[in-house]
Structure 1
């Protein structure tokens, strides 16, 4: 299946009219436009403020089946009054401004109600304005409007290759303002400055408002959203980032491989690696549920995972336990108890880097080989043909028994009784001396190097790698690129400030998810309000934590319960608050850890990988909280030196 675009449904009957006809026939056949009010500057100046507010309120009710709050109406009134004053002043300075288009409360489709206050199509440019009834905007305000502009530039087709400018207007500010910090690109203007600033806009090529408002908007969904769509046989959106990352081509290759294996009675092992957030799990889910197998079986494919939290969250989101299965049950049913042949010809093993070594498999299940070899031995019992896909994250081995990595797949192939053809990334061929060259296929398509989780922040993974390698200078050089891409990354000693930032930034965005993350081995975080101990985390309802709405006490957005590296691997948040504890500290020249774990050859490696997991969960950004303790001083200063900006409430 192709990654087909999900089309926006818009009111195309009369885009510049203030409201569509209320006739019965039109109310049935015409779709509701996803904005509150749209018209030219001349039309906006001609309408009375009361009529404009009435029409905004009616449209809001049409879209959300509820009346706007008194606070919302007051904010609209404040914005409308001031805009009409400034556009009146602008007219003699810029006569062409009468034809500029104002789109109030434009809802970003598929984004759970996210909507900037105003999109102004002016002089061929796209201006995204947020009005805040404040004297001084907060950092959350700045990042909110920057994110609107970023997402329009990246995911809105008619905005591609166009200037998209975020503008923040604190309506209580007076006097001249200064542009926000260079690099983030947010223009902060007092209301009194709007007319003069707009009059200086340089004319770009014409932009048709009807075309713009009807254009496709297709962000990549989160893992949970994508699972729902796949499960319901809905198309996933296509974004240029996913296509440039090679995901559609990889899926097409897998589909062709399945057809080949079925026709020629072959067995194939495909190992797909990638940076955190590159879409490995999405590839696996889509492959399993939209494959080309012609078979009379009810379930010719299975998605297995050793990641218990991922399974729990997906099953909670889908209200079904048949969608994904624990790999533990697969071992027990087909190897430990019955040694039967699976009915599935397609087996996807998610988080394959977490596969246990032989010692751990013997301890837990009494199986005499490593997990990779066990999966291959079970797959060999499948009649005629089989395709096994292993999805492997880079540098995310965090459990006891997970330190062997790719080597155990080579060992499993050396123990295999069937002939396997192996597909992997070019840099991995050296790990497979047991496979004859004529059965080893290497291609870059099997290594997903682009992060889709963090939107435009293509340098996030590299920044994390530099930080954890102690390469602080290289990390600091990359951070401005992250900010330019709209990825906000902060540092604080005050957990209350971090919580306030998230609540303020996502106040009117109920689909957004933010929450507390922490290393399981940190011992000093619980005293500061991050309960990461075993008792607290084992009692947490993982499904509710990720899925429930912000007003639920079980939701991550309540900011009361924390998830550790074991609970967030393979999952994501829009904005995590990461507690950096005393289990990984900077000792002047390198990272060190006093943690000791039984049966672990390199405890420091597991601690570093744990923080790699924690630091790569965010889609919009992250905040690192470091306890204000003397022993954490060097760590705090190191994170600051690596480019994290100290979070403040006001600019």
Structure 2
């Protein structure tokens, strides 16, 4: 029989007693699409192998064909439950070799179950890759050093499958798994932003992508709250601005993409566009969605060109500066009634915008900040409009970024008829909007809504409080930092070292399957060149984030490095943060430096000191599963890299409790 999770589901006994044609028929009917002969023959080969080698466990387990992995949008060829173990089996029909990408694929499936499927947290999971033309192959059966019950991928030939199962069952032990309870268990995914965007673009709901715990409920509640205020503005013919706040990695971008992908129809009055000033994020999302759509359609027999698909994606995900320039030239109202501005705190100040307009656009008389101008574009609508501002705290990292107060000031000065829907947490210190909020006390139509705050980080499914640790670390609150570290260290390893090669090896040893890892550094880290790290060397964030292990431009090669500007809003599984002498530890706090010419200079402006500190906040909160921090030893013969610049940083990090690698 089929289930919602698989094309075919049966006890092993039932599978063995059924004819191969009846099993194939059930799998084919459940697929819902026309089956090519190559796929039919592949399924028949798999059925034959399993019928031959599962006889020993008739009455002792269960089998699923084409078992769905929700977060990844893929299906496991065969999943078999026998006694206390789950076997994730991927077949490569007609092949005799075991390539790395195939091994990573089956490992990814096993890890996804282990990390996000609740009943799989405490059981043995064996990823098995079978090359049907291989002979007498059975690789070593062993658990990885993470000791979480996921075995290293097992390479097997068809003839060795029985021996593989016997060996796995002898390695681990545990209670007998109830297949029906197991398959009905809660699946609580924590997708990357790229995975989430792809799923939303494929018309999944935000609920499908969320964990079923308090954090996920908060995400769903926030998405619903935004939907409701949009519907209210449309029904009552009002104009409104909404501020959604959240801790780093809580899912603000996910909420914005959820709104935008619900209303991609350009003919709909609710047509929405997602805008971001984060150029790398926009490029990466557009390219990822285009590639994914082409691959998805290919499985359905439809051929698409990436270029054509990319244009469709760009209709609802755009760079905010492109949107601004379009409506600078076109004085009509935008086609969109709803505009979502991600990282709204990074919009430009009046000074930055006017200078840019005079220098680049030849508009010497332009006198609006970027928030003011963007709101004015939506104000051109005669009936209704909604601006959704997604706001991160402590995320301003570049000169000329206005923070959120400029949005509120613009609304106060020029748009008296607009409604405001505000997260109460906008008053928290990291949003730097307290004075602006005070001015709203006498304004009508200001609504504070707790549902507009995302309190729980979803970036790290291993430890939700990494952002708290990083905040205390950077705020020099050593006692609080130690306490936060103690709460996360069991599930989220953070280590520090003076040795970059050792750190690279640590990354590679920690990552399993296609888990992404890479090196991130501050854009001010100018004296890492002796370590082959040049922050001025051009890198392509699309290749760095999206390409696989065999591409030298990818993060996996650990050659190109990303700065805070490349990685803000994105994430890695494992990160190496190399800490230069731009942010130094002193007895009274941080010392802020920039490298100019051939020497370090003090950064004296408080604003620029904040940008540098926030740069490290971004770098230290990129990893989903763990990170290594490298503090170079320096060089006594190089006055720009004196050990005295680096040693106090290392001692401070060790002093808050980080383990030394």
TM-score computed with the length of structure 2 as normaliser: 0.72
Q: Distance in 1 between matches of 2:559 and 2:572?
A: 15
Question: CA contact under 8 A between 1:518 and 1:578: conserved in structure 2?
Answer: yes
Q: CA deviation at 1:546?
A: 0.8
3-state SS, counterpart of residue 377 of structure 2: helix
Over residues 351-385 of structure 1, what are the superposed CA-to-partner deviations in whole Å (9 max), with x where a residue is unaligned? Answer: 10111111001111244122222221121112210
Question: CA contact under 8 A between 2:522 and 2:579: conserved in structure 1?
Answer: yes
Matched, 1:9 2:6: yes
Question: Which residue in the other structure is 1:378 paired with?
Answer: 377
Question: Which residue in the other structure is 2:650 paired with?
Answer: 636
Question: Which residue in the other structure is 2:659 paired with?
Answer: 645
Question: CA contact under 8 A between 1:357 and 1:371: conserved in structure 2?
Answer: yes
Question: CA contact under 8 A between 1:32 and 1:63: conserved in structure 2?
Answer: no
Q: CA deviation at 1:243?
A: 5.2
Over residues 522-558 of structure 1, what are the superposed CA-to-partner deviations in whole Å (9 max), with x where a residue is unaligned? Answer: 122222132322xx13xx2221111111211221111
Q: CA deviation at 1:196?
A: 12
Matched, 1:610 2:615: yes
Question: Which residue in the other structure is 1:479 paired with?
Answer: 485
Question: Which residue in the other structure is 1:401 paired with?
Answer: 400
Over residues 175-230 of structure 1, what are the superposed CA-to-partner deviations in whole Å (9 max), with x where a residue is unaligned? Answer: xxxxx99xx98899xxxxx999978x7x7xx8512431464535132111222222
Question: CA contact under 8 A between 1:425 and 1:443: conserved in structure 2?
Answer: yes
3-state SS, counterpart of residue 9 of structure 2: coil
Q: CA deviation at 1:21?
A: 5.6
3-state SS, counterpart of residue 657 of structure 2: coil
Question: Which residue in the other structure is 1:542 paired with?
Answer: 541
Question: Which residue in the other structure is 2:577 paired with?
Answer: 578
- The 3 A distance-change label for structure 1 pair 108 and 499 is farther
- The 3 A distance-change label for structure 1 pair 245 and 619 is farther
Q: Distance in 2 between matches of 1:497 and 1:64?
A: 45
**Residue 258 of structure 1 is aligned with which of 226, 230, 238?**
230
**Residue 282 of structure 1 is aligned with which of 254, 265, 276?**
254
Q: CA deviation at 1:106?
A: 10
Matched, 1:328 2:321: yes
**Residue 502 of structure 2 is aligned with which of 478, 497, 510?**
497
Q: CA deviation at 1:406?
A: 2.3
Over residues 428-475 of structure 1, what are the superposed CA-to-partner deviations in whole Å (9 max), with x where a residue is unaligned? Answer: 364334434541111222221211111131110100001001112221
Matched, 1:356 2:356: no
Matched, 1:528 2:531: yes
3-state SS, counterpart of residue 339 of structure 1: coil
3-state SS, counterpart of residue 459 of structure 2: coil
Question: Which residue in the other structure is 1:133 paired with?
Answer: none
Matched, 1:155 2:116: yes
Q: CA deviation at 1:516?
A: 1.3
Superposed counterparts of 1:236-255, under 5 Å: 236=206, 237=208, 238-241=210-213, 244-255=216-227
Question: CA contact under 8 A between 2:583 and 2:591: conserved in structure 1?
Answer: yes
- The 3 A distance-change label for structure 1 pair 249 and 401 is same
Q: Distance in 1 between matches of 2:60 and 2:633?
A: 55
Q: CA deviation at 1:414?
A: 1.8
3-state SS, counterpart of residue 381 of structure 2: coil
Q: CA deviation at 1:342?
A: 1.1
Q: Distance in 2 between matches of 1:16 and 1:217?
A: 27
- The 3 A distance-change label for structure 1 pair 186 and 472 is farther
Q: CA deviation at 1:503?
A: 2.7
Unaligned runs of 5+ in 2: 31-38, 89-106, 127-138, 152-167, 291-309, 359-365, 428-433, 595-600, 635-642
RMSD: 4.6
3-state SS, counterpart of residue 620 of structure 1: strand
Superposed counterparts of 1:297-308, under 5 Å: 297=268, 300-308=271-279
Moved more, 233-242 or 571-580: 233-242
Over residues 147-185 of structure 1, what are the superposed CA-to-partner deviations in whole Å (9 max), with x where a residue is unaligned? Answer: 9999657621445xx856899xxx9999xxxxx99xx98
Over residues 583-628 of structure 1, what are the superposed CA-to-partner deviations in whole Å (9 max), with x where a residue is unaligned? Answer: 1111134221122699954322111100000111111111112212
Q: Distance in 2 between matches of 1:627 and 1:113?
A: 42
3-state SS, counterpart of residue 594 of structure 1: strand
- The 3 A distance-change label for structure 1 pair 358 and 380 is same
- The 3 A distance-change label for structure 1 pair 213 and 500 is farther
TM-score computed with the length of structure 1 as normaliser: 0.73
Q: Distance in 1 between matches of 2:45 and 2:591?
A: 52
Question: Which residue in the other structure is 1:365 paired with?
Answer: 357
Over residues 387-436 of structure 1, what are the superposed CA-to-partner deviations in whole Å (9 max), with x where a residue is unaligned? Answer: 1000111101000012x422212210122245111111224364334434
Question: CA contact under 8 A between 2:277 and 2:343: conserved in structure 1?
Answer: yes
Question: CA contact under 8 A between 1:148 and 1:166: conserved in structure 2?
Answer: no
Q: Distance in 1 between matches of 2:149 and 2:123?
A: 10
